[in-house]
Amino acid sequence: MSDTRQQKAFPVSWDQFHRDARALAWRLAGAGPFEGIVCITRGGLVPAAIVARELGVRMIETVCVASYHDYQTQGDTLILKPIAKAVTDAAGSGGQGLLVIDDLVDTGKTASVVREMLPKAHFATVYAKPLGRPIIDTFITEVSQDTWIYFPWDMGLSFQPPIRDGVA
């Protein structure tokens, strides 16, 4: 039997995302100190900048992983740029002391790939869906698996029809 439920929409404004990322930093403050941040690009860039500012972390590295290739469906997970050796060498064994940040954990595929690279790092996301929650350590807001989050960097301003009209 196929699932015919309509996907839910969760649009996030810049203001809301900034508040949520600061809330993540607040929650992480007691889990550190962190020697550096590894952000999963592209979605992790904005929350990593906010968390780095709030926690006073200066070393920020990226790991470039692509799993959404058409903005709607996940495909194969591709590592486009690995973590710099200088960062992994400076961190403790297995990434001890590093904080890995992304905007969202969805199915956990991307986080699992990075977790294999840094098994002892602390993983944090702003938003989490149920399938991905076991892979990460800290998050702020959980949304249902059938929810599509519209991040502010992916949107322009436009009219949103009321939910009663059957539009998600």
146 catalytic residue (yes or no): no
Q: Which ranges in the chain belong to alpha helices (H)?
A: 14-28, 45-55, 85-90, 109-117
Catalytic position from the list 103, 137, 154, 165: 103
102 catalytic residue (yes or no): yes
103 catalytic residue (yes or no): yes
Which two tokens mark 24? 């993540």
Catalytic position from the list 3, 20, 76, 106: 106
Catalytic position from the list 102, 146, 154, 165: 102
- What are the residues whose beta carbons fall under 8 Å from the beta carbon of 166, sequence distance 6 or more? 6
Query: Rounded distance, CA 30 to CA 45, Å?
Result: 22
Query: Rounded distance, CA 145 to CA 104, Å?
Result: 12
Catalytic (active-site) positions? 102-103, 106
